[in-house]
Chain A
Amino acid sequence: MSKYTEDDLREELKTKEYEYGFYTDIESETFPIGLNEGVVRAISKKKEEPQWMTDWRLEAFRVWQEMEEPDWANVHYTKPDFQAISYYSAPNSKPKYDSIDEVDPELLATFEKLGISLDEQKKLAGVAMDVVVDSVSVATTFKKTLAEKGIIFMSISEAIREYPELVKKYLGTVVPQKDNFYAALNSAVFSDGSFCYIPKGVRCPMELSTYFRINQAGTGQFERTLVIADEGSYVSYLEGCTAPSRDENQLHAAVVELIALDDAEIKYSTVQNWYPGNAEGKGGVFNFVTKRGLCEANAKISWTQVETGSAVTWKYPSCVLKGDNSVGEFYSIAVTNNYQQADTGTKMIHLGKNTKSTIISKGISAGKSQNSYRGLVQISSRADNARNFSQCDSLLMGNECGAHTFPYIEAKNKSAIIEHEATTSKIGEDQIFYCNQRGIDTEKAIALIVNGFSKEVLNKLPMEFAVEAQKLLEISLEGSVG
């Protein structure tokens, strides 16, 4: 057997095609391309939204028109033409299904290819799924179990109709309409997303999970997620994505808002595997996401993400630690290959006393990709005894890729303790040699090392999800993860 070297691995990675690149043909109702006030109104009408929601969208749209697309991130791409995108697309087989048998069989086959057949999921580990295919929620399971506990878990458009008070109270409080260019765009045109409310003192008995999937050629996906954990409650929320192969760039601009009231805890995990483009860097999804959580007193928000896809990623899940004794956590693995570019990280804004935050970020770059960590730790002058620990490690495979670290640390309180450390290295020849010596071939050895490198973050994922995460890591660094 010939020796499997790092070069072979690189070669293999280069030629590796996107496994999940298939396209499901579902008749869908798609808006013509372009964006103006009329389109925003039409979306709102289509979703049968109340007047306040339409106004809210229009307000965002007007702000968005005034804004400029940001270019400070360490990524280079052709800016999307916002007038060349269709802003609404819904699977045609409406209305809602009561049971899974009613679902379009082709759609079910899609899920099967992804290895997430609903039946199996139902039985497995009690995961309730709010499956989103092209912006409209088509199946919601375990609703009954959740309803018994008083937990509301539904698509956001349903929530706007059924619980307008809750949505009105919290929507846009963490990520305001005018927060940034993409958040404003999302606020104006978001088509659907998930809404989740955990009542006081309730511990959500199962992992809540949503699969997002871009399916229709030329439609952007603008998801809006709102999770509210009332006092003393707990919820673990999972989000995972895969997208079919497509040549033109697709835009994904989601907004996620988390609100953890006093003593509540939210754990939000993401596995992201949008189509990254082919080996020449053609195609791929643009992922410009705004994710932010607000912690009231003694609350905790924990973000875990595994980023393997997208041609361009621009994503900073953040925590605003407003209440005293609140805790923010961020665990991330970002893998880039070929011509992928990722500029990702977090913001920890310490406002309350005795607030704590932890940042663990692992970047793996291969091929000709660029992987950046950009983070902010801000301690306000009233945040006594704030504590932060950050660690950013980068692993480089090959000398055509780049790894960058841009940490911003701003401290205005003398009792703050902040530690930040970052390292960049490659897989050591001595490490490989050590493994070889013990009869582990080079491929396995690299797998072992990469696995060990990312273990700290993988361990933070809920068990059911860790399997999926491992699988997605495999696609990006095939042959190197065992």
Chain B
Amino acid sequence: MDLKEKLVTSFLALENRVNVDSPIHDIRSEAMKVFENLGFPSKKDEAWKYTALNTILKHDYSVFPKQENAIEYKNVKKYFIHDIDTYNIVFIDGKYSSHLSQTTHDGIDVCLMSAALNKPKYRLVIENYFNKVASKESITSLNTAFAQEGAYIHIPKNKVVEKPIQVLYFSTGSEEALIHQPRSLVVVDENSHVQIIERHQSLTDNPVLTNSVTEIFANKRAIVDYYKVQNDNQNASLIDNTFINQKRESHVSVHTFSFGGKLIRNNLNFYQNGERIDSTLKGITIIGEKQHVDHNTLVHHIEPNCESHQDYKGIFGDRSTGVFNGKVLVNKEAQKTNAFQANNNILLDDKASINTKPQLEIFADDVKCSHGCTIGQLDESAMFYLKSRGIPQKEAKALLMYAFANNVLESVKIPEMKQRINKIIAHKLGVNIGFDL
């Protein structure tokens, strides 16, 4: 039985466990129909030209884990940003872990999707926002069909959330192979400000496939900073779909740090529904072995006077492959748009490859849109300069690579987060330098 069939049958099983009379279930059934029709995307789809899913779809994934698992905090502490106080929403094999989490309902809601979907007090928010910006393509629909659990974050008007929110997904490997489908919703009302960190972590070598969907709504003048840390092991794959709907004068930034995993696909979509919006999309990718990272971004400029900034840096070693597929779409009404897109890559080995496709589709005349894309190597003369000053080859190389990626890190607003990323980069590059100068 292939995975698609299995998911279709599992959906019938799901219908026995959830309330089929709720309006949510109509959305689920609708989405399941879409997925049944379209199936998994193949390389024939233009958006998946460079990323083949068949290697990760061949496993016999369990759709619902059989048992609940617990893990000790001390074993997973290193995956948290633990040196500062944060709200935590933690899931183990897709199930909420109350003893690792720290949620709140005090003025803001930092809790669970399952609660939000089922409790009447959240009904209005769910009706207004749930599945409103997520696309209707097959992978996202598959997630919608199984949407049950994930993070639910609602920040009402005029609130500055004083500490970051961490959302962590652990898989314990108690199943042979597991497919996760977390579904999250973030609603940030007028003038509010929130910082969110998301991480998926597999704790064993058993194959895991995560198909995650996050919808983010930034209302008037809201500020949202979202960080994605992807440093998983060699058998974990991630398809991350993020949809962001921005209202006027809001600022949303998403930083994606991809350092590992078998296959990572990031679908990041921004829709600017208002004037004077600012969107930032940044990413650092440093991978090796046979890893594959694909960044697929869309910024849709719908109204005038908005800006978007994209900056993706990639360093590819061994037999890894990188893909960047960025699209900027400017509607005819979106005059005075300022859109910038950059994608710079370094190939370290001959077996590594990079496919990049930065696209501009522009229908308005009074705009400033540009994109730049480079593929190259480390500067020989810079290497020589460092080596002539007594810095060993390996460290010199690491320093240059760090410098190459650095301007993505500059806009990270949580200092501890930055330190953590620095550490991971040092680890990835196999050097023991702090980088925190």
CB closest residue in chain B, given A395: B365
Measured CB to CB, the closest approach of chain A to B325, in angstroms, equals 10
Return the CB mask of A378-401 against B: 1 if under 8 Å, else 0: 010100000000000010111111
Interface residues on B, range: 35 or more
Tell me which of A397, A407, A414, A424 contacts B357 (CB under 8 A). Answer: A407
- B52 at the A interface (CB under 8 A): no
Given A409-B355, A413-B350, residue A394 in contact with residue B364 (CB < 8 A): no
Q: Is B349 a contact of A394 with CB atoms below 8 Å?
A: no
Contacts of B165 in A (CB 8 A): none
Tell me which of B351, B357, B358, B365 contacts A426 (CB under 8 A). Answer: B365
CA distance A421 to B371 in the complex (A): 6
Q: Is B362 a contact of A402 with CB atoms below 8 Å?
A: yes
Q: Is B369 a contact of A424 with CB atoms below 8 Å?
A: yes
Q: Is A404 a contact of B371 with CB atoms below 8 Å?
A: no
- B416 at the A interface (CB under 8 A): no
CA distance A417 to B374 in the complex (A): 7
CA distance A415 to B380 in the complex (A): 12
CB closest residue in chain A, given B369: A424
- A437 at the B interface (CB under 8 A): no
CA distance A335 to B387 in the complex (A): 51
Contacts of B427 in A (CB 8 A): none
- A217 at the B interface (CB under 8 A): no
Given A415-B377, A425-B367, residue A406 in contact with residue B357 (CB < 8 A): yes
Q: Is B376 a contact of A407 with CB atoms below 8 Å?
A: no
Q: Is B350 a contact of A414 with CB atoms below 8 Å?
A: yes
Measured CB to CB, the closest approach of chain B to A416, in angstroms, equals 6
- B370 at the A interface (CB under 8 A): yes
Contacts of A406 in B (CB 8 A): 357, 359
CB within 8 Å of A: which of B336-365?
345, 347-365
- A241 at the B interface (CB under 8 A): no
Q: Is A426 a contact of B366 with CB atoms below 8 Å?
A: yes
CA distance A401 to B361 in the complex (A): 11
- B46 at the A interface (CB under 8 A): yes
Q: For the complex, count residues of A whose C-beta is within 8 A of B.
A: 35
Given A399-B366, A400-B332, residue A418 in contact with residue B374 (CB < 8 A): yes
Tell me which of A72, A397, A409, A424 contacts B373 (CB under 8 A). Answer: A409
Q: Is A409 a contact of B371 with CB atoms below 8 Å?
A: no
Q: Is B365 a contact of A396 with CB atoms below 8 Å?
A: yes
A-B contact count (CB 8 A): 117
Contacts of B349 in A (CB 8 A): 414
CB closest residue in chain B, given A416: B375
Q: Is A418 a contact of B375 with CB atoms below 8 Å?
A: yes
- B120 at the A interface (CB under 8 A): no
Q: Is B364 a contact of A404 with CB atoms below 8 Å?
A: no
Contacts of A348 in B (CB 8 A): none
Q: Is A413 a contact of B347 with CB atoms below 8 Å?
A: yes
Given A413-B350, A424-B367, residue A394 in contact with residue B357 (CB < 8 A): no
Q: Is B347 a contact of A414 with CB atoms below 8 Å?
A: yes
Q: Is A397 a contact of B365 with CB atoms below 8 Å?
A: yes
- B372 at the A interface (CB under 8 A): yes
Given A72-B46, A417-B377, residue A409 in contact with residue B357 (CB < 8 A): yes
- A116 at the B interface (CB under 8 A): no
CB within 8 Å of A: which of B353-406?
353-377
Q: Is B347 a contact of A416 with CB atoms below 8 Å?
A: yes
Q: Taking each of B348, B367, B375, B376, which has the highest tally of chain A beta carbons within 10 Å of its own beta carbon?
A: B375
Q: Is B376 a contact of A418 with CB atoms below 8 Å?
A: yes
CA distance A423 to B342 in the complex (A): 12
Contacts of A414 in B (CB 8 A): 347-350, 352, 377
The 13 sampled A-B contact pairs (Cβ below 8 Å) are A394-B360, A399-B332, A410-B356, A411-B347, A416-B347, A416-B375, A417-B375, A417-B376, A420-B358, A421-B373, A423-B369, A424-B362, A424-B367
| B positions within 8 Å CB-CB of A | 46, 332, 335, 345, 347-377
Known: A405-B359, A409-B354, A422-B360. 13 other contacts (CB 8 A): A394-B360, A402-B361, A403-B362, A404-B362, A405-B360, A412-B353, A414-B347, A418-B373, A418-B376, A423-B368, A424-B369, A425-B369, A426-B366
